[in-house]
């Protein structure tokens, strides 16, 4: 199947064939080089001995080269990820969630409202999910927001505003695990480079995974009078 033609996995097939091809070419090149050097250094030795000796040495050099290449490739990936995280670090607080609250109350909510400050301009959007998680880790979705594209809004850098999430209640229970995800898109429509997503949750494991930012969700409150 890996050497087969069509299907959705052609990129795997091409990569696999390329790996075999270039490994073979590299081996032949090493073998020819080592054999030539061996003939020059040991002209009195038999051709068969030289051939098998050079093949063995070529295999050793090829394996060592492949291991070295893989180590360098992994190091390059790690360095690239580190540069990405360093470039993202100044963006972690572009979206600030100041407070959030239930409407009319936590026991029977129909909306969640948030007070937000953004430090870049863009198209703002978001969603909310509320789950009930038991001690075993099993979760049941209690409610979710129903915001559509029409609720998105363009905001300016430094702007503070209130955003409303209408809720669809899926089951009668208390949501002890609420997540509020806020987006700041650069383009008037669709995704674009530089889009920012920040997830506010009860106990984030990290503040940035290279794709999403994370923040601690504060306890629900009532809006300031």
Q: What is the largest CA-CA distance in the chain?
A: 99
Contact 111, 165 (CB under 8 A): yes
CATH 1.10.3470 at 92-216, yes or no: no
* pLDDT for 14: 42
Q: What is the pLDDT of residue 28?
A: 66
Lowest-confidence region among 56-70, 86-100, 199-213: 56-70
pTM, two decimals, is 0.67
Q: What is the DSSP string of 19-82?
A: HHHHHHHHHHHHHHHHHHHHHHH-TTS-HHHHHHHHHHHHHHHHHHHHHHHHHHHHHHHHHHHH
Q: If DSSP codes are grouped into helix, strand and coil, which group holds residue 153? A: strand
**pLDDT, position 7:** 42
pLDDT exceeds 50 at position 13:
no
Q: What percent of the chain has pLDDT over 70?
A: 72
Which 8-state DSSP code applies to residue 90?
G
Give 149-197 pLDDT, tens digit per residue: 999 999 999 999 999 999 999 999 999 999 999 999 999 998 999 999 9
* Residue 8 pLDDT: 40
pLDDT band of 15, cuts 50, 70, 90: very low
Q: Does residue 14 or residue 41 have the better pLDDT?
A: 41
Q: Which pLDDT band, with edges at 50, 70 and 90, does 65 fall under?
A: confident
Task: Tell me phi and psi for residue 35, to 5 degrees.
Answer: -60, -40
- Cα distances from 104 to residues 81, 90, 190, 223, in angstroms, run 44, 36, 33, 12
pLDDT band at 51 (very low <50, low <70, confident <90, very high): low
Average pLDDT of the chain? 82
pLDDT of amino acid 76? 84
Q: Which of 5-14, 56-65, 94-103, 171-180 has the lowest mean pLDDT?
A: 5-14
Angstrom distance (rounded) from CA 179 to CA 202 = 7
**Among 63, 59, 82, residue whose Cα is nearest residue 71:** 63
Q: Which pLDDT tens digit goes with each residue over 68-114?
A: 878 888 888 888 888 878 889 999 999 999 999 999 999 999 999 99
Confidence of residue 137 (pLDDT cuts 50, 70, 90): confident
Q: What is the pLDDT of residue 85?
A: 81
CA distance 58 to 55: 5
Higher-pLDDT residue of 41 and 132 is 132
């Amino acid at each position: 199947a890996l050497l087969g033609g069509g299907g959705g996995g052609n990129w795997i097939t091409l990569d696999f064939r390329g790996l075999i091809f270039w490994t073979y070419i590299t081996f032949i090149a090493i073998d020819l080089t080592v054999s030539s050097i061996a003939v020059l250094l040991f002209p009195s030795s038999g051709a068969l001995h030289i051939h098998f000796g050079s093949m063995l040495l070529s295999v050793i050099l090829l394996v060592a080269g492949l291991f070295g290449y893989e180590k360098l490739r992994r190091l390059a990936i790690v360095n690239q990820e580190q540069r990405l995280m360093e470039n993202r670090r100044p963006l972690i607080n572009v979206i600030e969630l100041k407070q959030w609250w239930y409407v009319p109350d936590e026991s029977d909510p129909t909306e969640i409202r948030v007070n937000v400050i953004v430090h870049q301009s863009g198209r703002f959007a978001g969603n909310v999910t509320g789950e009930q998680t038991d001690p075993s880790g099993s979760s049941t979705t209690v409610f979710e927001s129903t915001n559509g594209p029409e609720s998105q809004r363009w905001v300016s850098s430094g702007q503070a505003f209130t955003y409303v999430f209408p809720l669809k209640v899926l089951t009668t229970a208390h949501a002890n695990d609420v997540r509020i995800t806020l987006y700041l898109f650069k383009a008037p429509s669709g995704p674009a480079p530089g889009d920012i997503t920040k997830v506010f949750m009860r106990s984030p494991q990290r503040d940035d995974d290279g794709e999403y930012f994370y923040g601690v969700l504060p306890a629900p409150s009532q809006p300031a009078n």
